[in-house]
Structures are given as C-alpha cells and as structure tokens.
Amino acid sequence: MTAGLTLLAKGEGDAFVSAGSTGALVMGGTFIVKRIHGIRRCAIASVMPSDKDPFMLIDCGANVTCEPKFLCQFAAMGSIYMREILGVRDPRVGLANIGVEETKGTPFVRESYEALKQEKSIHFIGNAEVRDIPLGVCDVVVADGFTGNVILKMYEGVAGTLSKNIKAMFKKNALTIMGALFVKKGLDEFKSKMDYKQYGGAPLLGLQAPVIKAHGSSDARAFMNAVRQAKECCEKKVVGLIAENLAVESDHAAATEKIKDGEN
C-alpha cells in the first residue's frame, strides 16, 4: 500500500485502488498523497443503493470527530462527485439526524445544520432522518465519520439479513421453489438494485489524486468496478474540480479572516 501510494504521489500512476485496511489507506492517503489545498480532512464517500436512485454517504469512517466546516466540505465534494460521476444534475444534500426539525440533534449537529444552510455551493435540503435515507430522500448524506460508519454497517447488516431470509423463504419446500420461478425476474432486479458491488468502492475525496477503497470482501466483479470507478474519476477530473471549487472557498474564507483581524 505504501509503495503504491508513493508511486501515485510521484505522478507515476493515475489512481490507486485497495481492498486493504481502511485506517491505513486513510493515513497513507493523507500523509503520502496529501490533501488538496484548503481541504481540512479527506472523507470516505460510499455510493449506496436506495429505493429510488443511488446516493452518497460521506463521511463513512475516516473522521470520528468533526467540525461543522468539515461537513460543509464533505457536502461540496460529494455534490461534485455525484454530479460528475453519476450524472445527478443538482444533488440534494441532507444532514443525517434523528429528525427533520432544525432543533433536533446534538449541539454539533445543530451547528453543522446552520453552517450547511449558509453554504452557497450546495443544494442543502435540511436534515435527513435516518429512516428516510433508504427511501432516497437526498443524493448526498453528510455525517461525521462515527455516525456515517454506523449507518453504513447497519445498512449492510440489514441488507444481508433480508437477502438471507428471502432465500430461506423460497427454498422452504417444493411449492415455494416453484413460486420463486414466477418471481425470479423481480427478485433479480431487486438484487441488482441493492447490490453494492456495482458501485465498486468508496473514493477518499479530498486527496490530490484518486484513491478508491474497495470492500474487504470484494469479489472479482466488485474490484473490477472499483477500478472502473478510479478510471472515471480520472477521466472526469474529479480531483481537479474539487480543488478548483474548494480553493475559491478557501481563499474567500482566508480573505474574510484577514478582514476580521484588521477590524480587531
């Protein structure tokens, strides 16, 4: 992993894909590939299925503790990715919370809500109640890494449990097996719709080159799609677009701070 990230940092590769340790990849990406100028933290951004269209969950575990500004940058990076890679014209951004009201959540979540509401570069729709996330309530769900990782793993666990029980139900006896034949097409469509393998992996957004984290249990198809995802990130110049958009915000923030210092 270190060798590959070092080659990437030297410009001897266009992207890096790994199914190895998430923590090691985040640390390696941060200290070897390095973050884009102005980006406070890189974030794990998982594209996940919903009842409607796929959505992005960011951050999924790279940053257990965050500041509201981090979430604003996550929202901006996620919006750029969804627009450029998945073709979502105006990505709706929601803040993961226990309710849709502005007053819900911890002090950090309420502060993040206010910060996201002021962010001009995103289409913020407010809080996304966790139970509504699988229904496709928004295109980008932002959260601190702890909350995002809990959502991700619960999502995976529920999906696995549903799949196992559906299979067991149809394999119960000869009649249920025959019944499965009549609904096979619908079951296959449902399985394809909810299959994370078609998305490949989770990009580490905020780094100076594309780095993709594939699932540790990836099979050949999932890893192939992770490589395809890396290729698309290069072709669509996602890193450059993030750098271009976030650099403007960073320079504006720096100028504002200078003005405030002058006033003081």
The predicted-structure confidence for 156-192, as pLDDT tens digits, reads as follows 888 888 888 888 888 888 888 888 787 877 777 766 6
CATH of domain 2-263: 3.40.718.10
Cis peptide before 90 (omega within 30 of 0): no
Q: Does the structure show a pLDDT above 60 at 259?
A: no
Give 227's pLDDT tier (boundaries 50, 70, 90). Answer: very high
Q: What is the domain partition of the chain in residue ranges?
A: 2-263
Please state the rounded mean pLDDT for residues 240-260.
Answer: 62
pTM for this entry? 0.85
* Distance in angstroms (rounded) separating the CA atoms of residues 220 and 149: 24
